[in-house]
Amino acid sequence: MHTVETDDTPTNRLRVVPANDVPFADVEAVFGTKGDPAHCWCQWYKIPGSNWRSVGDDAMRVRLEAQLAASDTGPGLLAYDGDTPVGWCAVEPRPNLARLPRSRIIAGGTAYPDFTDADIWAVTCFVVPRAFRRRGVGGALAEAAVAYARDRGARLLEAYAIDSSVHEKIPAAELFHGTVTMFRNAGFAEVARPTADRVIMEVRLRD
C-alpha cells in the first residue's frame, strides 16, 4: 500500500492511499448522497457528452466501483484523517478519459495532443466534504498523486487548475479541478493558460 503522510496542522495527520486498496464504502462516504459528486462519481471525463444524460446516478456509482476493482493504475486516491475518509483525488492515464480531447480548454492548452499516450497521466478531480475543507486535504492529495503516478511509470502528470486569484469568489462547484496554488506546492509548473482562470500545469516524472 502506498501511503503519504503529512502534518498540515499540529492536530491533523493525513494519510493518502490508493482507493482500490480500501473498502468502497469509504469512497462512498466521501462522495456522499447529495451534490455534484454524488451525481457524477468522477465519470464526467469518461463518458462522452452524447451519452452523459442517459446514465443515472446509481449507474455512475457502479461504474466507479468497477473501475477501482479492475485497475492498478487509478482511477483515484483516498485521504484519511485517522480512520475517517476525508477526500478523493482522481488520477490516472489520460487515455482513460474520453472527454479530454473534446475539451477546448484542455486540448487547446496541453503541449501533448496525443491523448492515446498512456505514459501521460492527468489529475482531474478533487472531492472534499464540507466538514473537512481548509485542512490541507487537497494539497496532500495533489502531492500523493505525483508520487502515485511516478510509482506506476508515468512520464508526465498534467493538471487543469483553477486560478482562484483571478476572481473575488470562485464557486465551490468549480474548485473540483484543484487550484494553481495547490498544484504549485506539489511541484507542478504552469505551461499554458487557455483562459484567464484556467491553467494547464504539469510535472515531469521521468525522461
Structure pTM?
Answer: 0.91
Q: What is the CATH number of domain 4-204?
A: 3.40.630.30
Tell me the C-alpha distance between 23 and 205, whole Å.
Answer: 29
* pLDDT averaged per 10 residues in sequence order, the chain, 207 residues: 42 84 97 93 90 87 95 91 97 96 94 96 96 94 98 97 82 82 97 95 95
200 vs 100: CA distance, rounded Å = 12
pLDDT of residue 124: 97
202 Cβ contact list (under 8 Å, min separation 6): 111, 156, 157, 158, 159, 188, 189, 191
Domain boundaries, the chain: 4-204
All residues at 6 or more sequence positions from 80 whose CB lies less than 8 Å from its CB, including other chains: 14, 15, 16, 17, 26, 86
Closest CA to 62 of 22, 16, 28: 28
